[in-house]
A and B are shown apart, each in its own frame.
Chain A
Amino acid sequence: MSDTVLFAMEAALNGLTVGIMYSLVALGFVLIFKASGIFNFAQGVMALFAALTLVGFQNGQVPFAPLINAIFGTSVHDFGFNMPSLLAIPATVVVMVGMAWLIERLVLKHLVNQEPIILFMATIGLAFFLEGLGDIMWGAEVKRLDVGIPQGMSGAVDDFTYNWLGYGFYLDTLNLWALVIAGIMVTALVIFSQYTKQGRALRAVADDHQAALSVGISLRFIWVLTWSIAGIVALVAGIMWGSKSGVQFSLSLIALKALPVLILGGFTSIPGAIVGGLLIGVGEKLFDFFMQPVIGGATENWFAYMLALVFLLFRPQGLFGEKIIERV
C-alpha cells in the first residue's frame, strides 16, 4: 500500500478515537434534550466544572480559596492531603447530582412552558455562571488530571499494524480507553432506560410530558434524574478530555463541537450521538489531511460546523433523529 493511503488510514483512525470524545459530550446533550426538550448549552462547561471539581478533590484544594484569600487576606490553598481517585470520583458525582438538583430548583422550575429558545438562552447563562463559579472555586490555572488511565503511544497497536502492514500506526492508549468507556456507558444507559422503572419513566417523559404526568410520574424528579445523569456523563467526558489535554477553559470550547455532532446524528438519538461523533472526528482529520496543502491548516476549527451547516440544509433532523414535524 502506498504511504498516502497508510497516512490517511492513520489519520482516520485517530479521527475515530477523537470522535469518541465528541460523542461522550454529545451523549449528555441528547439525554437532556430527550427528557426535557432543553438544548443544554452548558453541557461542555459542566464537563469542565466536573473535571475541575475532581482535580480539586484529588489535590485536597480548599474550595473558593482565591475568594477567601481576597476577602480575609489569608493564603489558604489546600488541606494538605491528597484524596485517592476512588474517593474523589464518587465525591464529584455527589457534587454533580447536587448541582442537578439546584439547577432544577432555581432555574428550570421557573421556566416551565417557556419557549425552547428562552430555555436555550437560559442554559447559555448557566454556562457562563458555571464557568465563573468553577474558576472562583478551584482557580483558573491549567491543571493536570490523572485518574490512572494509561496514556501515551499504544505499543500493541503499533506492533500489530507494523507486522501487518509494515507501518506502525500511532494511537494514544487514552483514546482506546475512551472507546471502551464510551461503550460501557452507552450499554449502561441503554440497560437503564430499557429495564429499570426510573429508566422507563424517563422514556415516558421524553415521549409526552402530559401523559407521563397523568400516570403519576413526577416530572421534577425525572428532570433532576436526567440532569444528574448528564452531570455524570459530563464528568466522564471531563475526565477523558482532562487527561488528554489538561483541565482548562478550552475544554468547554471543544465541547461546543458536540453541537455539530448532534446535528449530524440527530438530537434525539443516542446511537446518533455516537455515530455523529465518529463521523465528525474522522471527517475533520481526513479533511485536514487532504486539504492542508491546498488551503492551510487548522481547518478542524470550522470543518465540523460547516459540515453541520450543509447537513442542516438537506436533512435537518440528522441521520437518526425523528423527523421534525410542525403542527399548527
Chain B
Amino acid sequence: MLYREAGDFKTSYASDNQTFPIRFDRVAYWVVMAFAFLVLPMIMGDYWANSVVVPFLIYVIAALGLNILIGYTGLLSLGTAAFMAVGAYATFKLTTSFPGMPIYIVFLLSGLITSAVGVLFGLPSLKIKGFYLAVATLAAQFFLIWLFTRVGWFFNYSTTGQISMPERSMFGVLITGASASSTAVYFTCLIFVVGMAWLARNLTRGTVGRSWMAIRDMDIAAEIIGVNPLIAKLSAFAVSSFFVGVAGALTFAVYLGAAEAGEAFGINKSFLVLFMVIIGGLGSILGSFLGAAFLVVLPVILKLLLVDTLGWPADLARHLEVMIIGALIIIVLIAEPHGIAALWRTIKDKLRLWPFPH
C-alpha cells in the first residue's frame, strides 16, 4: 500500500514535474544516497571497493554517456573506448603540464576536450546513420588508439609507451596514485556519478533531451517540427563524449593508475559499454546503472562460482562469460528490447495497483 500517488498532493508546478513523482521513490532515493555515502564506505572492504564498486561507478558514467547517444538520440557508436582514452590522455597531459591544477577540474576539463573530439567524429552523423555511422565511429576507435600509442607527445615520450598517474590530492586528501585510500577513490567516483546522473536526468527531460528523442524517433519529422538536426546531433555527441571522457579520466587516474591505450581502451571495452546500455535499457538513466552493475558483477560471480568453487580453468570461465554475454544480448533484444529497466517499469505499474489489479 506504500506505492501510491493517492494522497500525495502536488501544489506547485515544480513538484508536479519532479523526477520522482511517487513518495516511495523519493524516500528510496534518499535511502540509497545515504547508504552510498554513509554506510557503504564503512562496511566495504578494499577488495570489493577496488574490483567491484569503483569499476561499477566508472562504467555507470560511461554507460550514461553512451546511452545519451544510442538510447536517446539513436546514433550508434562503437568508439566509446577511444573516447575514454581521449579523456585519460587529456588528464595525463593536463596534470603533468599543470601540476597545481585541482584534480577535479582536470577531470572536467578532460571531459570537455573529449567533447570537442567527439563532435569532430560526430560530424559524419549529419549525413549518415545506422550502421554506416557505426563504421565511422570504428574509424575513431582505431585511429585514436593508434595515435596514442605512436605519437610520443601524448605519453610524454616515456620508454614503455605507458602513461602513469602522479599523486594528486583534493581538499588535502590523496586521491590518485598507488597510496591513495580506497575510500577516497570511492568518494571521488561517487561524487562524479551522482553529479553526472543528475545532469543526465535533467538534460534528457528538458528541451535538449526532447530534441534528441525527436531525432531518434524520426529525424525527418523532427526536422519538420523545428528541431535543428545539426544542433541536436552534435550536442548529443558533445554531451555523450563529455560523460565518456570523464569516465576515461577516472578509469586511468583513480582506477588503473597506469594505462596503455591499446590494452586499456581496446575495442572490447567499447562493446562492453554498449552491452551495458543494451542490457540495462536503451533510453533509461536507471538502465545505465542496472546494466553496468550487471556486467561488472557477472564476471565476478562466474569467477567465484566456476573457478573458485568448481575449480574450472580461468580461461574456460572467461570464454563461457563471453558466450553468456552474447546470448544475453540476443535474449534481451528479443524478449525485452528496453532492457532490465523496462522490467522495473512493469513492476512499478503492477505495484501501483497491488493488491487489487482490476
| A positions within 8 Å CB-CB of B | 39, 66-67, 70, 106-107, 110-111, 114, 116-118, 120-122, 124-133, 135-136, 140, 253, 256, 259-260, 263, 295-296, 298-299, 301-302, 305-306, 308-309, 312-313, 316, 326, 328
Given A302-B142, A312-B128: A128 and B323 interface contact (C-beta under 8 Å)? yes
Closest 3 CB pairs of A and B: A132-B323, A125-B329, A129-B326
Would you call B29 an interface residue if the criterion is a C-beta within 8 Å of the partner chain's C-beta atoms?
A: no
Residues on the B chain within 8 Å of A128, using CB: 271, 322-323, 325-326, 329
Q: Point out the residue from A66, A118, A126, A295 that lies within 8 Å of B316, measured CB to CB.
A: A66
Q: Point out the residue from A39, A121, A133 that lies within 8 Å of B329, measured CB to CB.
A: A121
CB-based contact A260/B135 at 8 Å: yes
Residues on the B chain within 8 Å of A114, using CB: 333, 337
Given A70-B316, A117-B76, A121-B329: A316 and B130 interface contact (C-beta under 8 Å)? no
Closest to A132 in B: B323
Cα A256 to Cα B220 with chains together (Å): 31
Closest to B315 in A: A140
**Interface size grouping (class) on chain B:** 35 or more
Cα A308 to Cα B141 with chains together (Å): 13
CB-based contact B220/A326 at 8 Å: yes
Chain A contact residues: over half helix, strand or loop, or mixed? helix
Residues on the B chain within 8 Å of A111, using CB: 333-334
CB-based contact A118/B337 at 8 Å: yes
Given A126-B330, A130-B326, A301-B146: A116 and B313 interface contact (C-beta under 8 Å)? no
Residues on the B chain within 8 Å of A39, using CB: 130-131
Cα A313 to Cα B133 with chains together (Å): 11
29 contacts between A and B (CB under 8 A): A39-B130, A39-B131, A70-B312, A107-B334, A110-B334, A114-B337, A116-B131, A117-B130, A117-B131, A120-B131, A121-B76, A121-B278, A122-B333, A128-B323, A128-B325, A128-B329, A129-B323, A130-B326, A132-B324, A136-B320, A140-B315, A260-B138, A298-B150, A301-B142, A301-B145, A302-B146, A305-B135, A308-B136, A309-B124
Cα A132 to Cα B76 with chains together (Å): 24
Q: Which of A122, A130, A326 has the most CB of B within 10 A?
A: A122
Closest to B311 in A: A70
Cα A298 to Cα B327 with chains together (Å): 34
Cα A260 to Cα B321 with chains together (Å): 29
Residues on the B chain within 8 Å of A124, using CB: 271, 274, 329
Closest to B329 in A: A125
CB-based contact B142/A263 at 8 Å: no
CB-based contact A125/B136 at 8 Å: no
Residues on the A chain within 8 Å of B143, using CB: 302, 305-306
Cα A298 to Cα B147 with chains together (Å): 10
CB-based contact A70/B310 at 8 Å: yes
Residues on the B chain within 8 Å of A308, using CB: 135-136, 139
Closest to A305 in B: B139
Query: How many whole Å from A144's CB to the nearest CB in chain B?
Result: 20
Q: Point out the residue from A136, A298, A301 that lies within 8 Å of B319, measured CB to CB.
A: A136
Closest to A259 in B: B135
Closest to B322 in A: A132
Q: Point out the residue from B130, B138, B145, B334 that lies within 8 Å of A116, measured CB to CB.
A: B130
Cα A127 to Cα B220 with chains together (Å): 32
Cα A70 to Cα B142 with chains together (Å): 37
Cα A263 to Cα B323 with chains together (Å): 29
Residues on the B chain within 8 Å of A306, using CB: 139, 143
Would you call B127 an interface residue if the criterion is a C-beta within 8 Å of the partner chain's C-beta atoms?
A: yes
Given A140-B319, A312-B132: A131 and B127 interface contact (C-beta under 8 Å)? no
CB-based contact B136/A67 at 8 Å: no
Within 8 A of A (CB), among B89-122: none
Residues on the B chain within 8 Å of A120, using CB: 76, 130-131, 134
CB-based contact A66/B326 at 8 Å: no
Would you call B74 an interface residue if the criterion is a C-beta within 8 Å of the partner chain's C-beta atoms?
A: yes
Cα A260 to Cα B137 with chains together (Å): 11
CB-based contact A136/B323 at 8 Å: yes
Residues on the B chain within 8 Å of A316, using CB: 127-128, 132
Query: How many whole Å from A25's CB to the nearest CB in chain B?
Result: 14
Closest to A262 in B: B135
Residues on the A chain within 8 Å of B139, using CB: 260, 302, 305-306, 308-309
Query: How many whole Å from A197's CB to the nearest CB in chain B?
Result: 31
Cα A129 to Cα B298 with chains together (Å): 16
Would you call B173 an interface residue if the criterion is a C-beta within 8 Å of the partner chain's C-beta atoms?
A: no
Query: How many whole Å from A76's CB to the nearest CB in chain B?
Result: 14
Given A136-B319, A302-B139: A125 and B326 interface contact (C-beta under 8 Å)? yes
Query: How many whole Å from B268's CB to the nearest CB in chain A?
Result: 10
Would you call B353 an interface residue if the criterion is a C-beta within 8 Å of the partner chain's C-beta atoms?
A: no
Q: 9 more A-B contacts (CB under 8 A) besides A121-B333, A263-B132, A316-B132?
A: A66-B313, A117-B76, A118-B337, A132-B319, A135-B322, A302-B143, A305-B142, A308-B139, A309-B136
